[in-house]
Amino acid sequence: MEKLFENLSMKELKAIRRKTGVTNAVVYYPKFKSSEELTNHYHRARWYLPYEKNVIEKVKLFSDDDASIQERPEYMAPPISSSEHICDLKDMDIESLVAAKCVLLWDYPSEMLIQKFQKLGIRSFNITTNDLDTAEYGNYCKVLWQLTSNADKDKIIESSHSRFKNYLKRLSNKEYKAAAVFGTGPSIDLASEFDFSRCFTHACNTIILSEELMDAIKPDFLSAGDVVSHFGISEYAHQYRERLHSTLQSTDCMFLTTSQFGYLFMVQYPDVADKVLVSDQRGFLPNYDLNSDWNLPCLDSVFNIHMAPTASTFSDTVFVLGCDGKNPDESLNEDFWQHSKKAQLHNLVDSGHQCHPTFDVHRQKSTWDGYQNSVQQTCGLGENLYGKRFFTLHPSYTIGLNTRFIDSEELEKNFPFLIKRSHEV
């Protein structure tokens, strides 16, 4: 069938597509020849490609007779929704392929093949697991959102913006004096030494794993945006999402994330979808007012993309804790940089690398410099052009935060409401 598809002219292929029409189907190409590759992508499909009416109604994997789906590897997430729409078929027919809404190319596709699908009007994504020239973890994660109609995307984003503004109106009754954002670096362990009751609070990532930290921060917002650690197929990501799900069920806080990946969470966890706010990422400048401009910046890290925008929207004064950056002692930087032991699934980190073998190679090349540049931009422009003030409550190794540390004496003098009094302990 592969040879037939590749040998047919565009005129012949377009004629077949006109005759069959377009189906709401995702098709893998080419056929799987080994049980290992078939199993690898079948279990990915169970997370990344949930059934959604008028978007993804059928997922087809085609395989040779001697290839069969094996048991899910322990490092991969278990399914949380029905996978009846996902099927392994032995005979690939040209009609299924040409009528597909989307084709997932899992075996190092050529540019010519990609262009052929594009000319047919078929969305195609390179999801080759070991291809260093692509980002399988990002391409897989955005399929659902990319296949959703523009009209439905607009409704989802507009609904998020409306719920965001209504939520901030409710929070305004608390008469907060400032805002505070929280990363997962070691200094987050100091959260209980401060009084954040008079602050709008926004916490990120695996802080939700610690009841102690959650009790000290009592976050109004949560955010995450890593396509591997939070929206990927690994057991690490699965455990994170399960805790996020239970946190959203049991608290009043809202979850803000990027639409391209966050929508997948909304579909897979529909009972908390109303607690999830999604926005597109647009523009390369920081956003300090999400009320009037519901877009997240194309910067690096959850601090710059999600937390600084909400905090700046709510207050001109923003405190930062837990954004420590990379320790100069590389032996202390587990999984790229150092984390609090209270806020990290340390024993499951390797599951992410096993599922996404190219991710760390890509990250090591660009993330640290990009993150520091983003932080300098966010804090610098905010202070110089928008009247914002950023203060770190603990020294940071991150350029852009390392010059904004405020010690206890200055804190007592200028922001006494953050000081936890001895009788409060």
Which residues in the chain are classed under CATH 3.90.1480?
150-424
pLDDT single digits (tens) 71-82: 999 999 999 999
Taking the C-alpha atoms of residue 281 and residue 286, their distance in angstroms, rounded to an integer, is 11
Q: Identify the pLDDT of residue 3.
A: 78
- Contact 218/252 with Cβ under 8 angstroms? no
- Provide the pLDDT for residue 123: 97
Tokens 């260093």, residue located? 132
Unique residue bearing structure tokens 């601090």 = 303
Any long-range contacts for 268-275 (C-beta under 8 Å, 24+ apart)? Answer: 268/47, 268/50, 268/80, 268/81, 268/241, 269/80, 269/241, 269/245, 272/245, 272/248, 274/163, 275/248
Cβ neighbours for 4, distance < 8 A, ≥ 6 positions apart: 94
358-403 residue pLDDT tens: 988 777 766 778 889 999 999 999 999 999 999 999 999 999 999 9
Structure-token pair, residue 92? 């690939």
Mutual angle of helices 136-147 and 35-48, in 10-degree steps: 50
Phi-psi region of 292 (alpha: psi -120 to 50; beta: other; left: phi over 0): alpha
For 150-424, CATH number out of 3.30.450, 3.40.50, 3.90.1480, 2.60.40 equals 3.90.1480
CA atoms of 217 and 191, how far apart (whole Å): 7
What's the token pair of residue 87?
Answer: 């099927």
Give pLDDT, residue 365. 64
The CA dihedral of 315, 320, 322, 323, to the nearest 10 degrees, is: 110
Segments of the chain with pLDDT less than 70: 1, 333, 335, 365-366, 422-425
Q: Please give the Cα distance from 235 to 228 (Å, whole number).
A: 10
Backbone angles phi, psi at 328, to 5 degrees: -60, -25
Tell me how crowded residue 239 is: count the other CB atoms within 10 A of its CB.
Answer: 17
Rounded Cα gap, residues 130 and 47, in angstroms: 19
